[in-house]
Chains A and B, each alone.
Chain A
Amino acid sequence: MKILIPTPLRQYADKKEAIEVSGATVGEALSNLTSRYSDLKKHLYNDEGKLRAFVNVYLNDEDIRYLNKEQTAVKDGDTLAIVPSIAGGIL
């Protein structure tokens, strides 16, 4: 399966926009990604080992928070997208 790397994090993944990884779940796939590119880990995870609140992970077109989070099963041909939040405002 493929993991799409957002612009800000490509410098930590050999400047690639997409990385092929294996894994049976979202968690395994992300773990394989950060094993291969260890500098990515601190950008994706907090000190407690949880995904940072502003890091959204989509399996194809679905937010994994509404599936089975990192236990969500994945299969060949799936695409994971790492999408940092974008928000703001006057106040």
Chain B
Amino acid sequence: MLRLSQSDYDQLRRHGEETYPHECCGVLLGQATDSSREVRAVVRAGNTRLDSLHNRYNIDPGELVRIQRQARERNLDIVGFYHSHPDHPARWSSTDFAEAHWIGCSYVITSVEKGKAAITNSFVLAGSMEEDKKFEDEQIEVVRGA
């Protein structure tokens, strides 16, 4: 289960609309238990795949180091990531899977159709290590008024 406020949910979807027709990407900060992740902040990140912005994303690890430092100052952890799929379903691709390494974290994908955010899905990267990792569908709970 991924739990986030309406505001944070809207924010990550809006990011995809703003970067359309390119993929957006960002980091979800919050706290995690064994079975759920609660988002407290959504942090936009830059997409370094300038060669292929419309169908690829990559977050500079150096930027992630800085985001992580800021998260620690707020007593938050990295609990997941989000990105958008311009004119493409909100489901993980083989590339999304191959490049996913944060086991236990949520990967949120928003389909952005003709510039408008459509469906947002979340997948948790399950497994014990790189060799047995798998994506599992994850329910998103949007807390209205929070």
Interface of A with B (CB < 8 Å)? 4, 6-8, 17, 42-43, 52, 54, 56, 58, 61-63, 81, 83-91
Contacts and interface: CB of A to CB of B under 8 A. Distances in A.
Contacts of B114: none
Interface of B: 23, 25, 32, 49, 52, 54-59, 61-62, 64-66, 68, 72, 77-79, 81, 83, 85-86, 88, 92-93, 95-97, 99-105, 107, 129-130
A87 B88 CA distance: 17
Contacts of A8: 101-105
A43 B129 contact: yes
B102 A88 contact: no
Given A90-B86, A90-B88, A91-B93, A7 B79 contact: yes
A86 B64 contact: yes
A17 B62 contact: no
A52 B77 CA distance: 23
B141 to A, nearest CB: 20
Given A4-B68, A43-B129, A63-B62, A89 B93 contact: yes
A84 B62 CA distance: 11
